[in-house]
Structure formats: structure tokens, C-alpha cells
A and B are shown apart, each in its own frame.
Chain A
Amino acid sequence: MNLNRSFFVPVNSPLHNLNPLTKLALVFSMILPAFLSLPQLAPFLAIPILIAVFIGRVQKQYFNLLLKLVLPTILFMFVMQSLFLPGGETVILNLGIFDVTRESMQSAFYTVSRIFVMISSFAILLLTTHPSELMSDLTRRGLPGQFAYVIISTLQILPQMQAKAQTIIAAQRSRGLDTESSFRKRIGSLVPLVGPLVFGSLVEVEERAIAIEARGFTSKRVKTSLHEIPDPAFDKILRGILVILVIASFTLNLWLS
């Protein structure tokens, strides 16, 4: 696994040009109905997701992600859950001691499609929105700036720290540190790998605190942003519609039950 990348794909599409908050609202208008208000509808939410993938022109990366991350997970879950979930009378398939019932298969199918909706909608958000763009838009709307600092600076520190970890692993291996043989030796090699990495990065904390303090990090004044993110009327209307749809789905749930 590589910590270096975020999922963002820099192309120009209607979805890329939406305001980040609108895209976040789109994500939650998929997840809330799928999990809380209208769970029976979850399989059908795949249709808007596929449409969004093509509007966002990220189909190649999305299907790549689907094959590598989502499909193995949900296939495993579907098979395991239909085999082992208790309950249900209608036996469809009998494999020795395991019974696959229609009820367990149905519930596995719904769970898996909800997971699919959740992971896919977040994936589309991340494929079409750069994390720092999302954070600066949220900061402009009143999220404390410290949150944006934490997210963005973590995304910057991670590749550096990973490079440092690779260097330390290589250096300790060249001194004969055992990272491949018996279990006890691998546990023993954890300390010489973790120690230099952690202490090295903790030492920098103090300097960085002084540096950002000198740049007015804790100042209470409103800060201006170098990069303005547009929020046209279309976005505001779309967000309004999404809120109404989500509320409608909850009222429908109460009305049905």
C-alpha cells in the first residue's frame, strides 16, 4: 500500500466544478437513506452512483478502485454472511453442515449493497474533490481552522514519514536486522524500526509549534483565503433539494412503519 496518494483525479467535469459542500451533501443524501431511512432502497441507489461516475468522468479510476477495494470485500462478506447468518426457514442450498437460507441471503444482499453505496459515494467524493479544497471550503463556512490544519498537514507529513520509514527499514536491514524470519525475531525488530521514526518526528513538533504560533495560528481574527472556492446559486438550490429529499425519506419511513 502506498500512503503517498489521495484519490483525486484532476480532470474537468461538472462534478469537479460543484462546490465541495454540495458534493458532501450528495454523499450523505445517499448514505442516510441507505442505512437509516429507506434501507430497502439501497440496491437501487447504485443507479445514481453509476450516473455520477460518468458525469464526473472518473469511470476508469472508479472501476479500478471497485475491482481492487470494494468487490473483494463485498464478495467475501456476501458469501460468509449467506453461509453463516442464523435464522431463516427456506433452505436454498445445503453444503454439508452449512445451510444457505433465502432469508440470510437476502439480508446479506442488503448489507452488501449498503456497503457498496457507502464506499462508492465516498470514493466519488474523493475522486472529484481535493481534500484541501474541501477543508478550505468548510473552514470558510465556520469550521475551526485547526481542523483544516490537522487534515492538510497530516496529508503532507505522511509521505515524508513513509519515506523516512523506508529509509529506516533499509538502514536497519543493511545492519543485519531480521524482518523476515521467525516470529520472535520479527517482534524484536519492531523496536529498532519504530524508535527512530517516532522520536525523530516528535522532536519536530516543538519547532513546528513555534513556527505556526509566529504566523498567528491561535489568532481569533477572521483569516482571508488565498484560494476562493465558488459557490453559485445552482449549488445552493441543489443542497436545498437534497435536504428536502432526506427529510422526505425519513417521513416516509415513519409513515410506513
Chain B
Amino acid sequence: MEVISQNAVYFAVVAVIMILLFAWAYFTKRIQKDFITMTWVLIPVAIAINLTIGQIVLVLKLPVYLDSIGTVLVGVICGPWAGALTGALSNIIAGIILDPGWFPWFPVAAAIGATAGVMANIGYFKNWWKVVVTGFVIAIVATVVGTPISIAIFGGISASGSSIITAFLLETGRSLVGAVLTTNFIAEPLDKIATSLLAFAIIDGLSARYLSRFPRGENAAVEKGQKQTQMIIALVVVVLLILFGIFILPSLTAG
């Protein structure tokens, strides 16, 4: 009883923050600038890419999902809001045709698209190691957004294979939040880095003329000359993020 009313409070707080953010972006015309006809036409194709590649990966029996390549693609070349919309609608479509159990995960998919967009806006989608960093940041965001959903709606252990890890961590005496957070943090980075790299490979294969028709096409301009200092900074960022994941996340949730 107590726990659920607490959830209702969190839910309301998050909803209010999202509405304020949306209103700010709407009234400063940041959203409208990104949603041109090309964006609206790209979104259905991107959703279809998400789901179809998800199916191909199932056929190939690879240990990843890769079901957000289209979402990352839209986030990069059409901006974070379009990416978030693509992710959310992608889960809604999957709920309509595959399994209604996909619906509650839509905030995770939206966060993936939005993060890809923000990272691309600050220039982190221009060469392969920056894309790896982006993939890592996306994985962290997906973990942070996905864990509360997993706990509040699915009780922490859902019907996916990675629940075995959660169960193991619970047996070793971790708290529920810590166990779910650690599980997601183990499972997500590989998938999201692979997703980002594939999206990067796709963007790399598209012509500059084609990309320039999208609102944020310049985000995808691939850097040819690779500077040493940038590479070192990017590597340090990755190492710091890994350290953050290994040491700080568990101790934050130890209690």
C-alpha cells in the first residue's frame, strides 16, 4: 500500500517535469523546427527498420536485441524530440502487432532516441570512438529509465533471459533496486554500443545530399581527420563511465 502510493507520487513528479520540458521546447519553437515533412516520413520507415532488424537478429540468434537502430538514426539526423517520438511510437506499434507487454517500456525507447539526439547535437556522432561513447551514454540512460519501470510494473524480475542475473544477484543479498540496476547495466552497453555503431555505419553510407534534407543532417557529417587529443579525451570518458558503472552505481543503491 505504502509503496504503491509512493510510486504514484514519483509518477506524477516525472510527468510534470516532462510536461514542463515539452512546453519549454514547444513555445521556443525547438520542436516545430525539427518536425518537417521529411521527418514525419522517416519515422515510419525507422520504426519498420527497428522491428524488422529485431526479427533478423532473432533469426541469426545473436545475444543482442538491436531493436532501436532506427530510433538512434532519427535521433541523430532529425533531433532529440523526433528520436524520442520514434522510440515511443516504435514500442506502441510493437504492442499493437506483437505483444501488448511492449507498451510499458515506451519511456525507455523514447529516452534512447532523445539521448542519441542530444549526443549528436553536441557533436558525439561524428567518428567511431565518439559513437562508442554515445552508445555507452545511451546504455546508462536506458538503465536509469528502465529500472524503475522494471520494478514498479514487473516486480523487478520480468520474463527476459537477463532476469536470471537479477535472481542470482538477489540471492547474493543485494537489494532489489541494486540487483535490477546492475543487471541492466551488464546487459545494456553491448547492445546499445552495437546499435549506435550500426546506425553510424548506415549514416556513413548515406550521401551528403540526402542527409542535408533532414533538419539535423549536419550532425552526421563524418569527421575524416582524427585528432589525437580528441581520441584521448573520448577514451578517458569511456573509462570514467565504466568506473562509474562498476563502483558508483552499486554503492548508490547499496542501502
**Complex-state Cα separation, A59 to B163, whole angstroms:** 32
A73 at the interface (CB under 8 A from B): yes
Chain B window 51-87, contacts with chain A (Cβ cutoff 8 Å), 1 for yes, 0 for no: 1110111111110000001000000000000000100
B26 at the interface (CB under 8 A from A): no
Q: Which stretch (A209-217, A222-230, A236-244) binds chain B? A: A209-217
Choose among A111, A147, A201, A212 the residue that contacts B49 (Cβ–Cβ < 8 A): A201
Write out the residue numbers on chain B whose beta carbons fall within 8 Å of the beta carbon of A97: 171
Chain B window 1-36, contacts with chain A (Cβ cutoff 8 Å), 1 for yes, 0 for no: 110110110010000000000000000000000010
Choose among B8, B40, B153 the residue that contacts A217 (Cβ–Cβ < 8 A): B40
Q: Which residue of chain B has the shortest Cβ distance to A217 in the bound complex?
A: B37
A84 at the interface (CB under 8 A from B): yes
**Complex-state Cα separation, A206 to B84, whole angstroms:** 22
B154 at the interface (CB under 8 A from A): yes
Inter-chain contact A205/B5, CB cutoff 8 Å = no
Chain B window 146-176, contacts with chain A (Cβ cutoff 8 Å), 1 for yes, 0 for no: 0000001111111100010011001101011
Inter-chain contact B103/A122, CB cutoff 8 Å = yes
Task: Label chain A's interface by main secondary structure.
Answer: helix
Choose among B5, B62, B97 the residue that contacts A257 (Cβ–Cβ < 8 A): B5
Inter-chain contact A81/B156, CB cutoff 8 Å = yes
Inter-chain contact B44/A153, CB cutoff 8 Å = yes
Q: Which residue of chain B has the shortest Cβ distance to A72 in the bound complex?
A: B159
- How near does chain A come to B5, taking the closest CB pair, in angstroms? 5
**Complex-state Cα separation, A72 to B99, whole angstroms:** 13
Count the B residues whose beta carbon is within 8 Å of the partner chain — how many?
67
A36 at the interface (CB under 8 A from B): yes
Question: If the complex has contacts A122-B100, A256-B1, are A149 and B40 also in contact, measured as CB distance less than 8 A?
Answer: yes
**Complex-state Cα separation, A213 to B47, whole angstroms:** 21
Choose among B55, B97, B101 the residue that contacts A6 (Cβ–Cβ < 8 A): B97
Task: Label chain B's interface by main secondary structure.
Answer: helix
- How near does chain B come to A247, taking the closest CB pair, in angstroms? 14
Inter-chain contact A161/B8, CB cutoff 8 Å = no
Inter-chain contact A193/B206, CB cutoff 8 Å = no
- How near does chain B come to A130, taking the closest CB pair, in angstroms? 10
Write out the residue numbers on chain A whose beta carbons fall within 8 Å of the beta carbon of B163: 80
Q: Which residue of chain B has the shortest Cβ distance to A36 in the bound complex?
A: B8
Q: List 17 A-B contacts (CB under 8 A).
A: A7-B97, A36-B8, A76-B159, A77-B159, A85-B156, A97-B171, A118-B103, A147-B89, A154-B44, A154-B48, A155-B93, A169-B56, A187-B62, A194-B56, A194-B198, A253-B8, A257-B2
B residues near A (Cβ < 8 Å) are 1-2, 4-5, 7-8, 11, 35, 37-38, 40-45, 47-49, 51-53, 55-62, 69, 85, 89, 92-93, 95-101, 103-104, 152-159, 163, 166-167, 170-171, 173, 175-176, 198, 201-202, 205-206, 210, 213
